[in-house]
């Protein structure tokens, strides 16, 4: 739930790196939310004998940013310090690390005295030379893509899932309007100690559980393309299939992963996401490389959009509607034209920054259409593409 800004905060945080045969890019944006509660961690090389291992995580906070920030800073070390990790039982080490962090974090002064009531989802991945270990707690999500399509996705932990609802009810709670006790939209999270107070139950039996689901995937060097970790601000408006197809198409245009991740969250904003957005994109050697043919097709698409938008603007010139409504009108006309060659998964929303730029050439006072609720409300059909 929560309040929204009058216009989205679109300034982005970016990060990128390369090592261990991997490349990664990060983009995050506050968006329409009153504050930024997301955090992330990306580390290409771990210490000691794990120099050929990499770690990535995304943490989506709620009711404050304290827990998400603390998890981003400390989850990796909690996992590495477990006895299970020293025994090479990585799956159990990840599970134990989550539980240990949740137990230790409870003792932080601002959390122990109830002054801070925040919690956070967590999705993370360890990439070793042979395996990929993926863990999820909450409704942030990781998707592994091969040949431009998802071959694995983590499960969102929602209160209405039968297994989650059963645990909640057994702990004395209820699920109303798809929320724990009618309030919290996720059934597993770190923090959220208001929902972890049943004294005769273990940590994984509470209303909200800190236990992750962990999976292991053998790396296939000739097929693995990329791994995406993102918060629900991205997944709210993009399906697994759509996002994988969209990223695949962007990799054919550029090898700049910051540009790609920025494009993804911009497109999600244009599609109507009202939440904070964070994405970590990890690219494997078999990912697509920039293609002159794809780049030429993209330029031709831009030319087509410029021609069609210009024609529609000139046709609507002299209208008594305000600039925003007029822009909404011409976009709806473009949607109806079913222009071929739009980015798969992104649709016309992937080109909205270009369309805003073209429109501003005619109407310099035009405000980006992502920055008003009125325009977005007019563009439900447009945003769904």
For every residue of 9-68, DSSP letters joined together read EEEEEEEEEEETTEEEEEEEEEEEESS--EEEEEESS-SGGGTT-EEEEEEEEES-SHHH
Residue with tokens 């990890």, as numbered in its chain: 282
- Residue 224 CA to its chain's centroid (Å): 20
pLDDT at 371: 59
- Strands (E) in 204-270, as ranges, are 213-218, 224-230
pLDDT at 320: 58
pTM for the whole thing?
A: 0.94
pLDDT by residue, tens only, the chain of 385 residues: 568 999 999 999 999 999 999 999 999 999 999 999 999 999 999 988 899 999 999 999 999 999 999 999 999 999 999 999 999 999 999 999 999 999 999 999 989 888 889 999 999 999 999 999 999 999 999 999 998 899 999 999 999 999 999 999 999 999 999 999 999 999 999 999 999 999 999 999 999 999 999 999 999 999 999 999 999 999 999 999 999 999 999 999 999 999 999 999 999 999 999 999 999 999 999 999 999 999 999 999 999 999 999 998 888 776 655 556 677 778 888 888 889 999 999 999 999 999 999 988 888 877 776 655 444 444 444 444 4
pLDDT at 369: 66
> Which residues have CB under 8 Å from 22's CB, separation 6+?
44, 54, 127, 282, 283, 284
User: Whole-angstrom Cα distance, residue 152 to residue 154?
Assistant: 7
Residue 127's beta-bridge partner residues?
54, 132
159 close to 139: Cβ distance less than 8 angstroms: no
Could you tell me the CA-to-CA distances from 225 to 16, 317, 360 in Å, in that order?
17, 46, 37
pLDDT at 317: 72
> Which residues have CB under 8 Å from 129's CB, separation 6+?
20, 52, 53, 219
Residue 43's beta-bridge partner residues?
55
pLDDT at 381: 41
- Residue 95 CA to its chain's centroid (Å): 22
What are 290-294's contacts with CB under 8 Å, separation 24+? 290/251, 290/252, 290/253, 290/254, 290/255, 291/252, 291/253, 294/249, 294/252, 294/253
Q: Three-class SS of residue 134?
A: strand
DSSP 340: T
Burial of 364 by CB count in 10 Å (0-12 exposed, 13-18 middle, 19+ buried)? exposed
User: Whole-angstrom Cα distance, residue 73 to residue 41?
Assistant: 7
pLDDT at 338: 82
Pull the structure tokens for residue 62.
């709620």
Dihedral (C-alpha) 89, 94, 96, 101: value to the nearest 10 degrees? 150
Nearest to 219 by CA among 17, 47, 54: 54
pLDDT at 237: 97
User: Whole-angstrom Cα distance, residue 208 to residue 336?
Assistant: 45
pLDDT at 2: 61
């Amino acid at each position: 739930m929560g309040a929204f800004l009058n216009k989205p905060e679109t300034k982005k945080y970016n990060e990128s790196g390369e090592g261990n045969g991997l490349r990664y890019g990060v983009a995050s944006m506050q968006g329409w939310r009153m504050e930024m509660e997301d955090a992330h961690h990306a580390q290409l090389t771990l210490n000691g004998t794990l120099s050929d291992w990499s770690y990535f995580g995304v943490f989506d906070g709620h009711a404050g940013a304290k827990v998400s920030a603390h998890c981003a800073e400390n989850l990796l070390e909690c996992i590495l310090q477990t006895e299970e990790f020293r025994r090479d039982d990585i799956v159990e080490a990840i599970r134990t690390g989550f539980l240990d962090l949740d137990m230790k974090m409870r003792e932080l002064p601002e959390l122990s005295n109830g002054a801070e009531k925040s919690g956070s989802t967590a999705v993370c991945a360890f990439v070793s030379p042979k395996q990929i270990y993926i863990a999820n707690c909450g409704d942030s999500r990781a998707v592994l893509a091969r040949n431009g399509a998802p071959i694995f996705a983590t499960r969102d932990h929602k209160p209405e899932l039968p297994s989650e609802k059963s645990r909640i009810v057994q702990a004395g709670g209820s699920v109303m309007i798809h929320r724990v006790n009618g309030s919290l939209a996720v059934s597993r999270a770190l923090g959220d100690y208001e929902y972890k107070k049943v004294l005769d139950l273990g940590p994984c039996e509470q209303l909200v559980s800190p236990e992750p689901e962990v999976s292991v995937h053998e790396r296939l060097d000739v097929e693995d393309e990329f791994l995406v970790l993102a918060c629900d601000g991205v997944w709210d408006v993009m399906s697994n299939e759509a996002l994988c197809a969209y990223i695949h198409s962007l990799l054919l245009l550029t090898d700049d992963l910051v540009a790609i991740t920025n494009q993804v969250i911009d497109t999600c904003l244009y599609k109507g996401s009202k939440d904070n957005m964070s994405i970590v994109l990890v690219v494997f050697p078999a990912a697509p490389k920039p293609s002159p043919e794809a780049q030429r097709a993209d330029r031709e698409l831009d030319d087509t959009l410029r021609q069609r938008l210009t024609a529609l603007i000139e046709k609507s010139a002299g209208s008594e509607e305000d600039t925003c409504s007029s822009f909404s009108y011409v976009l709806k006309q473009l949607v109806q034209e079913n222009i071929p060659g739009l980015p798969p998964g992104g649709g016309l929303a992937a080109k909205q920054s270009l369309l805003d730029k073209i429109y501003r050439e005619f109407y310099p006072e035009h405000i980006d259409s992502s920055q008003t609720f009125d325009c977005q409300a007019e563009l439900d059909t447009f945003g769904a593409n």
